[in-house]
Amino acid sequence: MRHGTRILPAIVLPLLLAAATGCASTAPKPAADARAGALTAAAPATPPGPAAAPTPAGGSTDGPATAAVATPAPDGRAPARPAGGAGVRLVAYDPGTGRAALSAPTTGGPDADPVRAGRLIASPPSPAAPHGALVSVTGVGHSSGGRTEVTTRPAAVTELLGTTATSLHAAVDPHTITVQPLVKDLTTSFTGHPGGGAGSASARLTLDAHTAVPLPGGATAALAAGIELDPAVDFSYDGTRLLQGGPERARVGFTLGSHATWRIDAALGAGAAPLRIPIARLSADPVLTVAGFPVVVNLDLTCYLTVSADGTVTVDTEQDLDGRWAVHADYLRGRGWTSAADPGSTEAGPVRARLAGHAAVRTGLASEAGVGLYGAVGVRATVEPYLTTRVDGTVTLNGSGRPPVVAGSWSTRAGLDVTGTVFARISVLGTPVFSADLPLPALHREWPVPPPH
């Protein structure tokens, strides 16, 4: 992240990016949190929220996707072998009990009965498993009408990929991102992205919000934002030394590019509790193909604009920016799991602002993002870039680069707070399981922002 006047967009980037993994991560959830219950193929329940239920920005999928059936290599020296079963679908799954149901077309020949104990089922997202599923069949029960009841256990990626090594960075199709508005009148659209590809999609998801937020004492804050998002996911796995103690290294994460315009207009009073304003929740479950099998990466982001003041002040600020932001969890044998949130670089247009009063005003975003595989969260991080402006009197920045008009005194500081957790007890990657989750070392940085001159 660059210091100086270009740091101001730090208050905006996460505000806009979350319009994700976690951004309060609502799904995926750690496997240990899954509740046992009746075996159903129902769609996921709508998360609680003040606005409409989440819908894919570009539409919805029809019916369950085809799953891969595989036989693990007996010595773990190679990836699993495809076991036929074209057209097998996971139509019901209860992760709490491991009970599932599979459907497959009735065919003759050696692959007529592909579902057998010991085989792996790698399913992309479906109504039965919205975040995908990777399981090993432990028992085969009743079969009728092309539907077979099975019992399963969670499988590890090492069982599927074996000694494969891969490193992938892939764009997320913006039409597959599910958006739940958390402010009134949030709209979505798509903006062409010339030159997209190779980790950058051919279109960007655009979010536009114009809303009034209630403030203590009956006042309101006017909010407006226009955000273009360009997400990508990262997955790497190195099992070349798998027989010597597990995978050598692994990574799961995402990168999010953004172009955004943001404005807030409010009068803030001393002693009021800090405002935490939810903007939108985004989720996506892109499917990567590794060794011929689907590997599902889960992203979930929710952003909250945070505004606080220690005195009485009126604020009207507007900012343009381009930037990139990333979060990932990394495993290295001998070192274990670590995680990081990278604010990357930002480019900002001229700041337009008017402030009047006697207070320090902090505006930022508590952006909680969750990222994982097959519905099991690998890392959850909170990233809060912020801007603190202290004013005693009035200050006006017209965005032209000319010196500010000041009656009194003012100063501005930018900062970044990062906290998080690596869920070290998850086993989907086949890495050693520790007895407790690992907190991400807290990161706090703050620096002065020089005025234009």
- pLDDT recorded at residue 97: 95
Average pLDDT along the chain, 453 residues, taken 10 residues at a time = 33 31 34 31 32 42 71 79 84 95 72 83 94 94 88 92 91 89 87 56 80 78 80 88 82 78 81 78 91 90 81 84 74 79 64 86 77 80 78 85 86 77 67 64 75 67
- Kindly state the tokens that stand for 344: 């990357």
For residues 163 and 78, what is the distance between their CA atoms, to the nearest angstrom? 5
Question: Residue 261's beta-bridge partner residues?
Answer: 226, 320
Q: Any idea of the CA torsion for 209, 210, 211, 212, to the nearest 10 degrees?
A: 140
**How far is Cα 150 from Cα 442, in angstroms, rounded to an integer?**
44
pTM: 0.75
Query: 3-state class of 222 per DSSP?
Result: strand
Contact between 228 and 278 (Cβ < 8 Å): no
Per-residue pLDDT, 350? 65
Asked if residues 85 and 70 have their Cβ atoms less than 8 Å apart, the reply is no
| Integer angstrom CA distances of residue 38 from 95, 375, 410 | 10, 19, 61
Residue that the structure tokens 């114009």 belong to: 210
Pairing of strands 275-284, 287-290: unpaired
Residues with Cβ within 8 Å of 144's Cβ and at least 6 positions away in sequence, in order, are none
